[in-house]
Amino acid sequence: MAAGSVLVLGSLVLHGRQSNTLLLDYELSADQSERFEALTRAFSEMARCGRIWNIPLEKREADWKRNAGASKLIERKQIHLATGNPPLVTTNMNFLKLPAGKETIYLTPDVILVTAGNAVAGFSYSDVEVTFRHTRFIEEEALPMDATVVDQTWRYVNRKGGPDRRFKNNRQLPMCLYGEIDLRSAGGLNERIQCSRVDVAEAFVSSIAAMSASMKG
């Protein structure tokens, strides 16, 4: 652990003063291995989606007519899922790495690690609420190749939902059905992931739910 860094695992807080790392050496039971392999398969399938985004915040939009009829604007950042381990952790496993703004989430066989700079926080799966939902999203960026288009709207709309003729080059925009995943905990984890495929996002959440249920049992 780098000098001056802080490691938080559950209720344990260690202030590092020497150059060393946290060693996590896993010996999994058959059930543990099966559950983590199922989570890894769901994660890998989601990683192959045409597009995945992290959504840090939502902003209310007063001028809905100039934003395709949307009452709020969503800031998104495209992310890429991968396997990897935190810089302060040495382990015999490949963790599942999910970038989320200034933080990075790592899914391990027994905890969810969240890193930010030189700090690492650990959450039990059973302490993290992970939810899935469908969302209809007006797509103004390049359309993901695997997106499901469910409707169309206009860049500038009138009060009846049709095109506002006052604007030139008023192009049609696709309304896509995406999957959204929320990860929240009382300890401060609060992230939203949007995925261009609904089915794989839902399967991923189901795999995390299985991990959580095993911790409670």
| pLDDT by 10s per residue, the chain, length 217 | 333 333 444 333 333 333 457 788 889 999 999 999 999 999 999 999 999 999 975 443 444 344 444 445 568 899 999 999 988 788 889 999 999 988 999 999 999 999 888 788 889 999 999 999 999 999 989 999 999 999 988 777 777 777 567 777 778 899 999 999 999 988 888 899 999 999 999 999 999 999 999 887 5
198 within a domain of the structure (yes/no) = yes
**Is 150 contained in some domain?**
yes
Q: How far apart are CA 161 and CA 157, in angstroms?
A: 5
Q: How far apart are CA 61 and CA 23, in angstroms?
A: 47
Choose among 104, 96, 119: nearest CA to 208. 96
Nearest Cα to Cα of residue 104 among 94, 96, 90, 114: 114
Q: Which of 178, 202, 58 is CA-nearest to residue 130?
A: 202
Overall number of domains in the chain: 1
Q: Tell me whether strands 89-91 and 103-107 are parallel, antiparallel or unpaired.
A: unpaired
Examine residue 210 and state whether it is found in any structural domain, yes or no: yes
DSSP 127: G
CA–centroid distance for 63 within its chain = 29
Pair type for strands 89-91 and 22-24: parallel
Cα 177 to chain centroid distance, Å, stands at 17
- Given a contact cutoff of 8 angstroms between Cβ atoms, the answer to whether 204 and 46 are in contact is yes
The answer to whether residue 1 is domain-embedded is no
User: What pLDDT does residue 22 have?
Assistant: 76
Residue 143 domain flag: yes
Query: Is residue 128 in some structural domain?
Result: yes
45 located within any domain: yes
Q: What pLDDT score was predicted for residue 134?
A: 94
136 touches 150 (CB < 8 A): yes
Which tokens hold the place of 2? 């780098």
For 186, other C-beta atoms within 10 Å of its C-beta total: 9
Residue 105 contacts residue 191 (beta carbons within 8 Å): yes
CA angle at residue 116 from 112 to 120, to 5 degrees? 45
- Residue 160 placed within a domain: yes
Domain range holding 208? 6-216
Q: How far apart are CA 24 and CA 159, in angstroms?
A: 58
